[in-house]
Amino acid sequence: MSWEPVIGLEVHVHLKTRTKVFCRCPVGFGAGENTQTCPVCLGFPGALPVINRRAVEWTIKLGLALGCEIAQHAVFARKHYPYPDLPKGYQISQYDLPSCINGKMLLPTAEGDRVIGIVRAHLEEDAAKTIHVGGRSGRIGGADYSLIDFNRGGTPLVEIVTAPDIRSADEARRFLQLLRQTVVELGISDAEMEKGALRVDANVSVRPTGSDELRTRTEIKNMNSFNFIARGIEAEVERQIGVWDSGDEVRQQTYDFDAATGTLTARRSKEEADDYRYFPEPDLVPVEPPADLVEALCAELPELPAERIRRLEAALDLDRATVLVTGGLDRLWGETVAAGADRTAAANVIANALVGAGVDLGAVSPAELAKLVGARDRIPRTAFDEAIAKLGDPGFSAEPYLTQEAVADSAELEPIVARVLEANPGQVEAFRNGKQGLLGFFVGQVMKETDGKANPRVVSELVRSRLEA
């Protein structure tokens, strides 16, 4: 029997408002521990929350970008659970009346747009941060003691919940990359995953391929890297298939995924909504945005990443368009092409060489970049790499690099190619047996022999003609 993964994501995004969601403490990462607190975000008795207007507007803006209906009457609720990093004993969130519902995100694929339903997007406060000291890799198990930093407590957080419409770990990754870029372009969050500003819970189940049932799901908590998320989902899908295949049943359960060891550890059995004793927050008024505010926010929406991928696809191809747009690179690409560069070559240079070199993209001159793209096959690789690395320097000029010539003379290169092939008989045989990918290996070896001065296109032709002779 073949199995199909069923995945729904809960995505938490920090909003980059200046102050917290229910008090006026500054929001920030990296300040001294417990320096950004007040009676409200420390949960002192009698302290009263006040809603941050901008956080509400940004939640609505995101909802609009995700095609959601915007509630004319949203209500904050208390979600109760006892935890040291939650000083009030409850989290203020939205429950049955969230600000945004029933949206969708289109995920461009070669087979058309995949529609991922957005069940809801709501505004809530983040908990404080617990730091476990001693023990292994900062986890609570085996720790000597724990410290709490309340700076994060009360940071505005939007939670976006998808329908169980995602069908693979790779699709989850692509959805998240697109969502992240959308949030960044809306200007509401930096969504920096390594700082915990975008965190994901993945709900995972499997079912017989072709069926439309929803089987018992498990949840992998709190992941903050696209690769970990994809690997965590893959590991859990595999585990569940094993459980069903062995005649057993998957039990509802929450897991932590340890990316270093690739293992899933069961956490606690899942609470039901009843356990949280939700009730409307009596200290806050409902959120009732006037229609003209919602219209104004809608009018501010930029052209969104998914639309731009489709537009670029026409000029390029889907994969390159996706990489450029989700990397926030498409504007530079457009300007570089306008400055005369070849479309595909410009996309390759920007997405690979430029990003790999860690260049400050905002400082790059498209005209100079276009010159380098045009000269890539002609000038020595070392000169090209050096020029790319310096592209972001103030006043950078490509000219000194453009006058250098890579060795393209076949007569000069032939003996080196011959030497490299002789030195690697195993690889030569593998190539002749169909392992075409080894071409890059041979070219790389010749480049090494020539200190990066050979013209890789000519080398590649020489290698090919010799091996295919």
Would you count residue 38 as binding Zn ion (CB under 5 A)?
A: yes
CB of 96 to ligand ADP, least distance (A): 11
Q: Which does 217 bind (CB under 5 to 8 A by kind): ligand ADP, Zn ion, none?
A: ligand ADP
387 close to 375: Cβ distance less than 8 angstroms: no
Region near Zn ion per CB under 5 A, out of 30-38, 133-141, 278-286, 351-359: 30-38
Nearest residue to 159 via CA among 361, 322, 47, 21: 21
N- to C-terminal Cα separation, the chain: 46
Binding to ligand ADP (CB under 6 A): which residues in 161-200?
Answer: 161-164
Cβ-in-10-Å burial (0-12, 13-18, 19+) of 322 comes to buried
Q: Which does 23 bind (CB under 5 to 8 A by kind): ligand ADP, Zn ion, none?
A: Zn ion
Binding to ligand ADP (CB under 6 A): which residues in 306-325?
Answer: none
Distance CA 234, CA 311 (A): 32
Report the length, in residues, of the chain: 469
CB of 228 to ligand ADP, least distance (A): 18
The residue type found at 366 is P
CB of 226 to ligand ADP, least distance (A): 17
Q: Which does 41 bind (CB under 5 to 8 A by kind): Zn ion, ligand ADP, none?
A: Zn ion
The residue from 25, 206, 443, 446 that contacts Zn ion (CB under 5 A) is 25
Residues 6+ apart with CB under 8 A from 146: 84, 130, 131, 132, 133, 140
15 close to 28: Cβ distance less than 8 angstroms: no
Binding to ligand ADP (CB under 6 A): which residues in 3-42?
Answer: 6-10
HSE, CB side, 13 Å, CA atoms: give it for residue 43.
Answer: 19
Identify which of residues 161 and 354 has a Cβ nearer to ligand ADP in the complex. Answer: 161
Residues 6+ apart with CB under 8 A from 306: 105, 106, 107, 108, 113, 178, 182
- Joined tokens for residue 173: 């990754």
SS3 271: coil
The residue from 6, 7, 9, 41 that contacts Zn ion (CB under 5 A) is 41
Would you count residue 23 as binding Zn ion (CB under 5 A)?
A: yes
Identify which of residues 104 and 453 has a Cβ nearer to ligand ADP in the complex. Answer: 104
Distance CA 458, CA 448 (A): 15
Q: Which does 322 bind (CB under 5 to 8 A by kind): Zn ion, ligand ADP, none?
A: none
Largest Cα–Cα distance in the chain? 86
Q: Which does 284 bind (CB under 5 to 8 A by kind): Zn ion, ligand ADP, none?
A: none
Q: Count interface residues toward Zn ion (CB under 5 A).
A: 5
CB of 443 to ligand ADP, least distance (A): 45
Identify which of residues 41 and 64 has a Cβ nearer to Zn ion in the complex. Answer: 41
Determine the distance from the C-alpha atom of residue 270 to the mean position of all C-alpha atoms in its chain, rounded to a whole number: 26
Would you count residue 203 as binding ligand ADP (CB under 6 A)?
A: yes
Would you count residue 27 as binding Zn ion (CB under 5 A)?
A: no
Q: Which does 49 bind (CB under 5 to 8 A by kind): ligand ADP, Zn ion, none?
A: none
Residues 6+ apart with CB under 8 A from 130: 84, 85, 140, 146, 147, 148
**In the complex, which residues of this chain contact Zn ion (CB under 5 A)?**
23, 25, 38, 40-41
**In the complex, which residues of this chain contact ligand ADP (CB under 6 A)?**
6-10, 161-164, 203-205, 214-215, 217
